[in-house]
Amino acid sequence: MKTILDSTDMQMAIDKMAKEIVEEAGSLDSLVLVGIRTRGVPLAQRIAGRIRESKKKEVPVGTLDINLYRDDLSRLDYHPIIGKTEIPCPVDEKTVFLVDDVLYTGRTIRCAMDALFDLGRPDSIKLAVLVDREGRELPIQGDVVGIHHPAGRGENVKVNLAETDEKDEVIVE
């Protein structure tokens, strides 16, 4: 087990991500952050917090459960328990920033995009991830990336967050 980000590193990475998201988004009025369950949700909230501090602006944060859109449902032993999808405003004509903890194969993001399209027609969808571990199986890239950490197939890159896992860290197992 190896720690690749500790709590302070993570703070810095999130700060950096928040800054870049503001730049990428252009207008803050049309920006919506949508966290992908589970750990994308607290990440999106933290980013929204940073933007609030720096820009004095409240950015809406939504929650997306992508399980209903997974392409591997028929391979699972049981269908997963579904969490709530809640986005506080219509996504039509918005710049939606999807937020997730780890970007790996890209399949989750594909699901998330499908899910978003069922909810409306955003002007653009962008992607922010804390860790890009490489190993993509689909043509999907992060627009805002906390850190790049190329990891092997057998490795598990795990993001722990204070909100869900008691402490902030990114580890590789």
Q: Which residues of this protein are in contact with another protein, per CB under 8 A? A: 65, 68-69, 73-79, 81-86, 114-115, 117-120
> CA 31, 20, 137 angle in degrees (round to 5)?
90
Nearer to another protein, 57 or 121 (CB): 121
Q: How far is the CB of 24 from another protein (least distance, A)?
A: 27
Q: How far is the CB of 70 from another protein (least distance, A)?
A: 8
Nearer to another protein, 26 or 80 (CB): 80
In this structure, the chain runs to a length of 173
Structure tokens at 131: 């860790």
Nearer to another protein, 57 or 79 (CB): 79
CA dist list (Å): 65 to 14, 84, 150, 163 = 22, 6, 26, 18
The half-sphere exposure of 13 on its side-chain side, counting CA atoms within 13 A, is 25
Q: How far is the CB of 90 from another protein (least distance, A)?
A: 9
